[in-house]
Amino acid sequence: MIPPADFRAWFHAATGLVALGLGVFPYALSVAGAVLGVVAGWIVIPRTPLEARLRRPGEPWLNGLRTYPVAVILLVLFLRPATLAATAWAVWAAGDAAASLVGRHVRAPALFGHRKATWSGTPAFVVLGTLAGYGAGRFVEATGGGAGTSLPVVALAAVASALVDLVRIPPDDNLPNALAAGVALVLGAHLSG
């Protein structure tokens, strides 16, 4: 059986794959899907055994299961074209999952004495977040989601999200990480365009 912390990280990354559909589906359907994600995270999953697999011990009710879909709906609503929303979502979903998995399985010192961040996990966030974000952006661009952004701008978004990840903002890191990626993409695209 997969350890709970690994299961959470893989689940986090896997749900980020849904971002690939943002170029295929019309905007209204993407928003409806994001709303369904909120319903799933706030109402459906808490009534299933999946909740117990995803919840950290002692974690409050307002946790990642509830903040993740809220972050997604904010990205879908406010980042246009769809490539920006997909890129931010992939940066954050893949980067955060990579930091968790690599940080726990590749022994490295704590990053500047940080309680959870390591010299293996945080670089994994940036590298895998950048690659996933750029790949998702290119895929969504190719499927009709609008113009993508450059690799350096995606890397900037991954760095911004990884840095925000170091500042544990309650109740969970999903909203700040996603918003940092989104804001960095918008600013980077604006400055480079």
Spatial contact of 121 and 102, defined as CB atoms under 8 Å apart: yes
Would you write out the chain's pLDDT as a tens digit for each of its 193 residues?
Answer: 788 888 989 998 999 999 999 999 999 999 999 999 999 999 999 999 988 888 888 888 888 889 999 999 999 999 999 999 999 999 999 999 999 999 999 998 888 777 788 899 999 999 999 999 999 999 999 998 888 899 999 999 999 999 998 887 877 889 999 999 999 999 998 887 6
pTM score of the predicted model: 0.93
Give the DSSP H/E element, type plus range, for residue 90: helix 82-105
pLDDT of residue 96: 94
pLDDT of residue 14: 92
pLDDT of residue 158: 97
- Closest to 135 (Cα-Cα) out of 189, 91, 191, 179: 91
pLDDT of residue 118: 86
158 in helix, strand or coil? Answer: helix
The boundaries of the domain holding residue 34 are 4-192
How many whole angstroms separate alpha carbon 132 and alpha carbon 192?
A: 21
pLDDT tens for each residue of 94-141: 999 999 999 999 998 888 777 788 899 999 999 999 999 999 999 999
- When divided into structural domains, the chain yields a total of 1
How many whole angstroms separate alpha carbon 155 and alpha carbon 106?
A: 22
